[in-house]
Structure 1
């Protein structure tokens, strides 16, 4: 009997993975679900899962919460600049608790000179896993299509303008559900030890192409504007987005720092994210959904954003 621990299990990603594991026939009693807010997992506890307190900022809660687990899905923390100490603490707790295999939700990107601060965080975590002596699997998830449909277009669908410092650089996008399915299968698979997978959609796109797909699906004209990194910083400064990451901040559905966003856009511009992969299909047996198809599935929501902007 194998017991599976999932960190951040009360969030959308964690809950999705739990649902896939149960659908694959994993008994609820074999699931150890960690969260800073265990009460949010009451429905899974009622089904028989073990629900425990687990906070990346609290080593004791992690080491106690992971006891009895054989495999662990470590869902990445959100904030750039905070991840490496948080993840290292969780890895040390996993080793102390006797966990044998850690599957980690990392981030796409070439190295070693990628300027993206997010990539720096995730490669630091991958190195900590390699040095831990634990068996590991790294799932390098691409940019979520969900964020590019739900959050990124909010301003463009009000103003008709979408700006960025990415120029003609291309990047892959992937739906959160494809990442969730990949994580669930990687956690269960017997042959993913010490392997890295690039979890991407079927194609790489420029941000200009992404903006035009959104425009077509929303039936609202959007003009793409190339700007410099300095102009991008000024845009976020005007919105009140901090340059460096702080523990809690969100402006207009953007819960990140401008250093995070701009460094990633420069990385896209310079080709550090131009990676295509079929690893979603390799892991799950099903092809990843394209960005256009995903956007079409959210057409009603996009057109509602247009209507909301028109009413202001």
Structure 2
């Protein structure tokens, strides 16, 4: 077994010595520390003789005007990889629906309200399983080198659409309540969610900072997450999970 410390280029070089491809999953923090770890990973891969990197980026990373904070780190990392001399593929993933299944909908169903700043914006939410299958396909040589792929679900849905599907499956009343960005910050502050990840997330009730969630919600509200692509099916040859399927499966497992 080999271990790599993303704060050490030498550690990454030693871990990937002899490897030809590197699947780089973005670190679960936001800001300069994450960017530096990504750069260390790229430098270590180059030093180890790796030929290609497949990187999990995010929708909107190619748009300098996208307000979602998460896109900044991904944009910097993408450019760094492109300048490394390595072959690459970027998976610009849509929002993972499992995040809502675990941290959003169960609490919303208990309260009868799902509160967020999505407005009537739409998003093609994706399952983590479909993202994983897409990564495997790219690492096995599917697709074209030095190409970006939009990894999205099969349908564009609004928060109201998701609420309707959830109600149909569970039989429990639920409505979407849109909030302003300022109201969402106040809500997260009241729950003890930090605004950034600078001091760590150990005491946070959820694993995302409010700067990330609020700016992401704004991007969705402004239509910047309304991207629908069939890249997943082209690469994997498999149909993607629908939101209805994922909600039904979570309900059948007794998760809400």
How does 1:261-300 map onto structure 2 within 5 Å?
Answer: 261-300=213-252
Q: CA RMSD in A?
A: 1.5
**TM-aligned CA deviation for residue 165 of structure 1:** 1.0
Residue of structure 1 equivalent to 2:101:
149
Whether 1:131 and 2:83 are equivalent positions in the alignment is yes
TM value normalised by structure 1 = 0.77
Residue by residue, what CA displacement relative to the aligned partner does 1:105-139 show, whole Å, maximum 9, x if unpaired? 11112612001011111111111111111111001
Deviation at 1:244, TM superposition (A): 1.2
Q: Runs of 4+ in structure 1 displaced over 4 angstroms?
A: none
Count, aligned residues: 253
Structure 2: tracts of 5 or more residues without a match: none
The whole-number CA distance in structure 2 between the counterparts of 1:131 and 1:169 is 35
2:93 matches 1:93: no
Q: Distance in 2 between matches of 1:257 and 1:194?
A: 32
Match of 1:27 in 2: none
Cα distance in 2 for partners of 1:277, 1:143 equals 13
CA distance in 2, matches of 1:65, 1:304: 38
CA contact (8 A) 1:198 1:277 kept: yes
- TM norm structure 2: 0.94
Q: CA deviation at 1:236?
A: 0.2
The answer to whether the 8 A contact 2:106-2:255 is kept is: no
How far 1:191 sits from its partner (Å)?
A: 4.4
- The SS at the match of 1:143 is coil
Alignment pair present for 1:56 and 2:56: no
- Partner of residue 161 from structure 1, selected from 106, 113, 118: 113
**Counterpart in 2 of 1:80?**
30
Structure 2 matches for 1:137-216, cutoff 5 A?
137-189=89-141, 191-216=143-168
- Structure 1 counterpart SS, 2:106: coil
- Cα distance in 1 for residues equivalent to 2:101 and 2:48: 40
Match of 1:106 in 2: 57
Instruction: Give the number of the structure with larger relative contact order, counting CA–CA contacts within 8 Å between residues 6 or more apart.
Output: 2
